[in-house]
Each structure stands twice: as structure tokens, then as C-alpha cells.
Structure 1
């Protein structure tokens, strides 16, 4: 059976408080009742003592005056049980049996019916104060109703206070239980959301207590699970990519090789086109694609057994010459601001060429999108400059809108793209190449431009610039 935490807190707390309040109330009621009894007894002992020591006759007027002070009725009998005086002529006391107690032993205990109501009845023996006077017996009648009213007046305030205390305790216990269980219910709902794959952090409670600590731990757990899920998805993408790359790359390499052979045969048959720049660019592009696919099939994956000095100036110039026809075709201005100072890094020329090509083509596509949407001229700028004495920065900037917010935090992951016809591999491959060269890649928005920056370590300045092989 389910036993909610609210009831686990509420029932024991209320039970303990109820027992305590009821116990205190009953004790107070008993003490009040006992005190009333003692007060009534002492009052009548004092009256009996006063009347016993009186030197004046105990007439009806005296007994009535005593009744007004005490609320009791009195009947005075002589030695022969004759009525000497009485506050209730209709009362006929029974003959005295045995020896009545003296005034200091008087008790209010027996209840009899006298007239039309019940009374507490006691008899006290009065000692004669005048020589020759006979023994007298004073019958005292105290109304039971008046006695009960006195007890009720003493007990009811305690009972009312105890009842109010019970209600207050029940309300406070309910409120406290709700304040404790409500955050736990929110935690329970959040855990269910995490189990369903929602790893968004929950809002922390304002009170700095154990519940807040538990909420912080749950947020940390959700963050770790989210990262783990992203890593699993990334691994699955890479696994899928690995399964597909062999077949796709093989088919593409065959097609590219066929195109390059056909282009070579055409140039041999038509010598007049040997110096045509467009055909030369196409030939170089086909050679570069063939090299990429060959590396892909060999499972090179961006890892290299050895590096060699590579002059980035010449590499950037070569890539710019390859992508410049594409930029010109779509109306994008391509600027080369690499400078004349040779900047040499240790690396693989083919992979670095692929890196620069991916960034430049992505920049051209982004600039085209703004040009078509807003009708303004697009521009792509490639810069190469040293950053300190030990590193060089390659910056590719464009006038495009920048990455969409939905992929900003994961655009370097495989198969992540916002383009309708994109593959989601360009930036992933770029990051892999940069990391394998000991560098860093980042991006930022600066003056309405999107800038991708690649920082690579420089080689010793005394090494000569090594020209890359013309492929």
C-alpha cells in the first residue's frame, strides 16, 4: 500500500500533538475539578466553624444570610430532631444516625433528592455555647446544579483552548507537510522527464536547504546524461559514417577518376585548350577530390604518421585559385589577404588544403544566401597573420548571417547541418584536421560578419619555406 510522505510527516506530528494537548487538557480539567471540590468543602467547613462558634441565636434570618453568601440551604435540628430554624421549610431531614462529624471533618459527598432537585447533603454537630443548652445538628444542602456549573466554568476554558490548539496544530502540520512534499513532487516530475529524455535543468528552489542541494544534484545528473546522450549520438553518427564511407568513396573515386581521364584525353586531342584556365582549374579540382577519396578509403581519418613543413601562404593561394571560379560564378567577391611573409607550419599539405577549401566554400555559400535574400553584394575574405611568436591564425570571414541558433552548440559534430542539401561533414572534418595538427578552431560574429579562425603552431623560423607539390 502506498504511504505518501505527506502522511508520514502529518500523521505522527498531529498524533503526538493531539496526545500532548489532550493530556494537558484532561490534567487541567481534573485539577480544576479537584480545586472546585476543595473550595466548596473548605467553604462549608468555614461556615460550620463560624456557626459552631457563634454566640448569637441561629435564627432563620441568620441562616438566610449565610445562604446568600454560600448558595447552600441550612436546616437546624434540636436534640429531639425538631426543626429549630430552616431556609427551606419544605425540607424534612431524616433523623441523625450515629455521631455526625465535627466541623473540621465535614465532607460534601452524599447526594439526595430534596424538594425538586438533587443536593449534596452533610450533617455537622454543633457544640452548645450556653450552659444547659442541648445538642444541635446543622443539615447543609448544596445544589448539585450549582456545583456542576462551577466545575463547567473551570473546565470549559481548558477544553476550548485545547480544541483550538488541536485545530492550529492540524493546520500547521498540513502546511509544513505540503511545503516539504511539494518540492519533492517537482523533483519526482523532473526525474520522470529525465527518464523520458528531457535533460533541461529545473529551476532551483529559493530556500537554501537540502531540497535545493538535491535539485542541484539532479540538474548536474541531467547535464551529465545529456552530454552522455550527445556522445552516444556522436558515436552512432561516426559508426554510421564509417559503414557508409567505403562504398560511397569507392564509387565516387571511380567516377572522379573517369572524369579526370576523360578531361586528359580531351586536352590531348585538343592541344589549343592546354592553357585554358577553366579546364586547368577543373583538372586540379578533380585531382584534389581523387586524393581526398583515396585518403578516405585508406582509413587515414585525419591521423598522420609524419608531418612536414608546409608554407601556408602558398597553400592558401592555391585554394583561393581553386575556389575563385566558384565565387565569381555566384557573384561573390573573394579577397586574399595572406600577406607576403612566409608562415610555415608542421602538417599534412593535403589535409590543410582540404581544411581551407571547406571553410572557403562554406563562406561562399553563406554570403550567397544573404545576397539572394537581401540583394546586397556578398564578400568572402581570407586572411593569414601571425599571432605571437609561436602560432599563426587563418581567418575566413563572410557577410553571411552566421550559423542558425539551433546548431550553434553542435555545428562541429558529424552529420549536423542546417542546409537543405548539406551533409554536415565539412566543419566536422575541419575540426578533426585542426585538432590533429595541434591547433584550435573557433568562430564569432564581428561587425555583421561571420569569422572562422584556425590557430596553428608555427615551426622554427630558420626552416625554409617548402613549396607544396603541384597536384
Structure 2
């Protein structure tokens, strides 16, 4: 673009130079004709004084010659004469000379036959240069301004394109979080917005693929664990039942709790085997209050063994007095075992994290029931906070990171959601489920 602009300016300057030469020649001819018209028919003598006065008046140099073409008088000293030019010896200037004839030269006393009007070639050349310099200066200044603007815009465009390139390379490398769009509403700005939109879609797709892969791996792990646990649980349950038959005490609470826990564990194993085979167990609707009581009765002994202080409430009242005080929650959850599994996971995690655990079951508008679990533990590490409910995400060295993932899937199946927050040095988990 700069080369094209320079070529255009050079062409315009050359054309102006040619036109300037023509204008200078036309001006020279016009001045010559005016002098010829004034002097060719004059009757006054063209002596030295008159020629000097006329030369000063017309701002030219004049020379008079006789019939033999000999110089009679010249207003400037001449050193050399050619066909149409005279060279001045003092400073080397060259003149272009145009002659006109004097009428009645034979009767004139000054013997002047012709008068030559000498025009300085340097002035003619200066007129040509002036004609060319204006468009050339205008063109060059315009080129300079346009080049500066072009360089500024180009550098900005290059910077934006480079940023867009780095963003695309980042996306290719798996970085879906940074942005490429800016506030400029042009083609590059819209392209950056399209790249960001693509990155967002790829991020969602990547998360979905990871989740699918995690679920696939979860199914495989579930199948392997379930087959191992089923044999162990069967043998343990047979041993406990035989001990119960041989035990003399008919009201051994420990044996009853052990058998109940084994039954729950066997149900978990059965569900794990269904998950591993790609099937889903049939829903078993259950009273939410009954599910809550089962969780409390099964986890309270474990809390005592771990020396964890537990507080159980229903609608703000202690759980043991909820039925008597008329604050029991009435309603069915879609699948009782699913709700029990999710609640047990949340409460079990709280019991491992802190020494003071509070569990509350309450009804909320929208036909929902909420289980709120809080503990005084250190809270969730910041590095896993965003992916806390994803499979295999855990801060425990011995953990597999499946509990909260199961809780989330359970909440989705029950028509609710699960979430967490940190407040007043306590960690809160809330499980919502829809009541039928």
C-alpha cells in the first residue's frame, strides 16, 4: 500500500512538472508578446538608458542587435552566444532569448533591427519545480499520515489476531476458561465471541465426556466391589444369625443393629450389581420420616463409638420429641433406599470431618423436604471445591471420592438437588427431595 501510494505521488508530481513547464512556457510567451506589442512599433530610440529602464520594468533582460545581427546594447554582460541562448559570464546563468523585429529599422537613428527578450532559465525551472513540489509534498504528507494510521491500526489488529491465535491454541491444549472476545464490534471481535462460544460448548462436552467415563468406571468398580462384598456379607450374616439363635438373651440390641446394618449393606450390594449391569432398581416410595428415623437409628451408635456429639432435629425440634409434639413430616419420597443412601453419605462425611454434627429434617415450600447436615470440621479444600460432587474427587488419602457423587445422583433422581456452603466456621450440606 505504501509503495502504491508513493508511485501515485511520483506520477502526480511528474505530471505536475510537465504541466508546470507548459504553464511556464505559456506565461513566458504571454510576457514576450506583451513586450513585442509595446516595443516593435515604437518611435523612441532604444538606447542603453531606455533598454535598462524597460528591463527593470518588465523584470527581464533585453538585448538589441542591428541588421548584421551584431549586439548594440545588452542589459547584462554576455560572454557566449548560441542559437537561442546567451550565457552570462559573471554567474553562469543561462537565458532563453526570443527576438522580435523593430518596424522601420532603416530609418531609425539607433540602428536597432531586432530586440531580444531574455528569460532566465533558472526561473523557468523554478516554476516547473514549484508546480511539481506542491502535489509531491501533499502526496508525501498524506502518505505519512496514512502510513502512521495504517501502522497503528495494523499493530492493533495484529495484537488482537495474536491474542485470538493464543486463545485457539489454548483451546486446542484444553484451556476452555480464558476469553478472546473484546468490546470492539467488528469481524475480529465477533470471531473472538464465536471462539469463546465454541470453547464454552467444548467445555460442556468435555465435562460430559469425563462424567460419562467416570460413571462407566464407577459401574466397573461397583461390580467388582459388589461381588466381593456379597460373599463376605452372606457369611457374616449367617454367623450373626447363628449366634443370635444360640444367644440366651432375646433382647440383644447389638445383634439386632448388626443384622439391620447387614440387610442395608446387602441392599447396597444388590443396587451396585444393578448399576454394574446397566440397570436401575425399581423405585420404592417410602415415608420420609421413617427413612430419617432409620438413618438416625443406624448412625447414632457409630457416632457414639467415634465420640461425635450428634444433634437430630425435625422442623426445629429434637427428633426424639418430633412425633410426640406433632412436628413429624408427612410425605413420601420417590425412592426410600436412594434417600437413605444419600443422607447416610452426607451425615457419615460430617461425622468423619468434625466433632459436633447437627442434622435437621424440615419441610420447605414447593412440596420439598430438606435434610441439612452441618459440622465444625475444617471444611472443603479450595482446590476441590468446584468439583466436589464429581466422581473420584476427594481430599481423603484413603477415600475414592464416590460418596458425594452418589448423593448428587440420588438428589437428581429424587427431583431435588444437593449443595454445600461454609458459614460461621461450619460446613453445611443440604439435600432437597420432592415429596409425593
Give the corresponding residue for 2:351.
364
Q: How many residues align?
A: 421
Q: CA RMSD in A?
A: 3.0
Q: TM-score, normalised by structure 1?
A: 0.79
- Residue from 316, 322, 331 that aligns with 2:298: 322
Conserved? CA contact 2:46–2:112, under 8 Å: no
Alignment partners' CA distance in 1, 2:192 and 2:79: 82
Alignment partners' CA distance in 2, 1:72 and 1:384: 117
Alignment partners' CA distance in 2, 1:225 and 1:31: 66
Q: Give deviations 1:360-405, integer Å, cap 9, x for gaps.
A: 10121222xxxxxxxxxx3222212222373322222222343333
- Residue from 203, 226, 234 that aligns with 1:226: 203
Seen in structure 2, the aligned counterparts of structure 1 residues 217 and 401 have a Cα distance that, compared at 3 Å, is farther
For residues 24-63 of structure 1, the aligned pairs below 5 Å read 24-63=12-51
2:175 is paired with a residue whose SS is coil
1:334 aligns with 2:321: no
Q: 1:228 Cα shift?
A: 0.8
Give the corresponding residue for 1:354.
341
1:424 aligns with 2:412: no
Q: TM-score, normalised by structure 2?
A: 0.85
Conserved? CA contact 2:288–2:333, under 8 Å: no
Give the corresponding residue for 1:124.
100
Conserved? CA contact 2:164–2:192, under 8 Å: yes
- Residue from 21, 25, 43 that aligns with 2:9: 21
Give the corresponding residue for 2:319.
none
Give the corresponding residue for 2:193.
216
Conserved? CA contact 2:66–2:72, under 8 Å: yes
Give the corresponding residue for 1:191.
168
Q: Which structure 2 residue ranges, 5 or more long, are not aligned? A: 315-321
Give the corresponding residue for 1:165.
142
Give the corresponding residue for 2:115.
138
Alignment partners' CA distance in 2, 1:90 and 1:389: 118
- Residue from 225, 249, 257 that aligns with 1:281: 257
Q: 1:197 Cα shift?
A: 0.8
For residues 141-156 of structure 1, the aligned pairs below 5 Å read 141-156=118-133
1:271 is paired with a residue whose SS is coil
Q: Give deviations 1:12-61, integer Å, cap 9, x for gaps.
A: xx345334433433333333332222222222222222222434211111
Q: Give deviations 1:327-349, integer Å, cap 9, x for gaps.
A: 22333211111232242214333
Give the corresponding residue for 1:443.
420
2:386 is paired with a residue whose SS is helix
Q: 1:222 Cα shift?
A: 0.6
1:345 aligns with 2:345: no
Conserved? CA contact 1:25–1:159, under 8 Å: yes
Alignment partners' CA distance in 2, 1:350 and 1:439: 15
Seen in structure 2, the aligned counterparts of structure 1 residues 357 and 90 have a Cα distance that, compared at 3 Å, is closer
- Residue from 48, 51, 54 that aligns with 1:66: 54
Q: Which structure 1 residue ranges, 5 or more long, are not aligned? A: 1-10, 95-108, 368-377, 460-471
1:205 aligns with 2:192: no
Seen in structure 2, the aligned counterparts of structure 1 residues 350 and 161 have a Cα distance that, compared at 3 Å, is closer
Seen in structure 2, the aligned counterparts of structure 1 residues 40 and 253 have a Cα distance that, compared at 3 Å, is same
2:383 is paired with a residue whose SS is coil
Q: 1:457 Cα shift?
A: 2.7
Seen in structure 2, the aligned counterparts of structure 1 residues 282 and 69 have a Cα distance that, compared at 3 Å, is farther
Q: 1:351 Cα shift?
A: 2.5
Seen in structure 2, the aligned counterparts of structure 1 residues 87 and 348 have a Cα distance that, compared at 3 Å, is closer
Alignment partners' CA distance in 2, 1:433 and 1:302: 15
Alignment partners' CA distance in 2, 1:81 and 1:226: 101
Q: Give deviations 1:193-246, integer Å, cap 9, x for gaps.
A: 101111113153232333222212211111111111111111111112222322
Alignment partners' CA distance in 2, 1:151 and 1:66: 26
2:271 is paired with a residue whose SS is helix
1:180 aligns with 2:157: yes
Give the corresponding residue for 1:372.
none
Alignment partners' CA distance in 2, 1:232 and 1:216: 24
